[in-house]
Homo-oligomer: A and B are copies of this chain.
Amino acid sequence: MRFTTRTSADGVTERSFTLGEVPGVLWTPDAAEPRALILIGHGGGQHKQAPSVVARAVRLAAEYGFAAAAIDAPAHGGRPKSAEHDRIITELRARMAGAGDPLPLLAELHTLLAGQTVPEWRSVLDALGELGPVGYWGMSLGCALGIPLVAAEPRIRAAVLGLSGTSLASAEAASAVTVPVRFLVQWDDERVPREDALALFDALASGEKTLHANPGKHGDVPAFENDDAFRFFARHLG
């Protein structure tokens, strides 16, 4: 792992790194050793430094004393797209413009990306070393890629997931998730059928899992759910 840039502001240090081909960012609180590490999986078309990712990471570090890390998913941010990605994304744009149902193709894309990003996240965890117990936060694409990661990685002890469903994420992987989960659903999600979202929540094998549903579309998660998620991590990663 090679750290490249380092900046500090408002009690939080942000360091960029690369691990092999994977670019990432680590945020740590300046005041004390981090009490835990939260991995942030960005949404589709976003990247490790999308404004919502950075805002979440900075609050986790500044207000809660957590470290946070984000990496670019394959074919996102500055990472190259394979011919396979290009083919799927071209077809996806056509379908979103009205040429058919985009869901099966999005699911195919998520499966392709998950096969790559799960081992990448695990290598990043190895390289970061001990930063306390680990949590995972990911909505939408970050949920679809996070579920197989949380299922595979025993260091992750709690997860905030959501904005996805069985048409987009693996119910089989969900049935191997056993850690406490907070699962967000947007009640009027224009991208994720409500039934699919409820079925994905159903599929999780976690003894403690809570679904939070709010009115509104895919992008309308209310701000108070952030505070709620932070308290959820604080409770489970103490």
Is residue A2 contacting chain B, with contact meaning CB distance below 8 A?
A: no
Query: Of residues 202 to 221 in A, which have CB atoms within 8 Å of B's CB atoms?
Result: 202, 207-215
Q: Which of A212, A213, A214 has the most CB of B within 10 A?
A: A213
In whole angstroms, how far apart are the Cα atoms of A212 and B201 in the complex? 12
Which residue of B201, B215, B224, B228 contacts A213 across the interface (Cβ within 8 Å)? Answer: B201
The interface size of chain A toward B, counting residues with CB under 8 Å, comes to: 17
What residues of chain B lie closer than 8 Å to A209, measured between beta carbons?
Answer: 214-215
Is residue A222 contacting chain B, with contact meaning CB distance below 8 A?
A: yes
In whole angstroms, how far apart are the Cα atoms of A211 and B224 in the complex? 13
A208 touches B222 (CB 8 A): yes
Is residue A235 contacting chain B, with contact meaning CB distance below 8 A?
A: yes
Which residue of B207, B211, B222 contacts A211 across the interface (Cβ within 8 Å)? Answer: B211
In whole angstroms, how far apart are the Cα atoms of A207 and B188 in the complex? 13
Q: Which of A185, A208, A215, A222 has the most CB of B within 10 A?
A: A215
In whole angstroms, how far apart are the Cα atoms of A212 and B212 in the complex? 5
Chain B nearest Cβ from A183, distance in angstroms: 9
B212 touches A211 (CB 8 A): yes
Query: Of residues 164 to 218 in A, which have CB atoms within 8 Å of B's CB atoms?
Result: 185, 187, 201-202, 207-215
A215 touches B207 (CB 8 A): yes
In whole angstroms, how far apart are the Cα atoms of A5 and B210 in the complex? 41
What residues of chain B lie closer than 8 Å to A214, measured between beta carbons?
Answer: 208-211
In whole angstroms, how far apart are the Cα atoms of A207 and B222 in the complex? 11
Interfacial residues, chain A to chain B (CB-CB below 8 A): 185, 187, 201-202, 207-215, 222, 224, 228, 235
22 contacting pairs across A/B (C-beta < 8 A):
A185-B211, A187-B202, A187-B211, A201-B213, A207-B215, A208-B214, A208-B215, A208-B222, A209-B214, A209-B215, A210-B212, A210-B213, A210-B214, A210-B222, A211-B211, A211-B212, A211-B213, A211-B214, A212-B212, A213-B213, A224-B235, A228-B228
| Further contacts, 19 of them, CB under 8 A, given A187-B211, A210-B214, A211-B213 | A185-B211, A187-B202, A201-B213, A207-B215, A208-B214, A208-B215, A208-B222, A209-B214, A209-B215, A210-B212, A210-B213, A210-B222, A211-B211, A211-B212, A211-B214, A212-B212, A213-B213, A224-B235, A228-B228
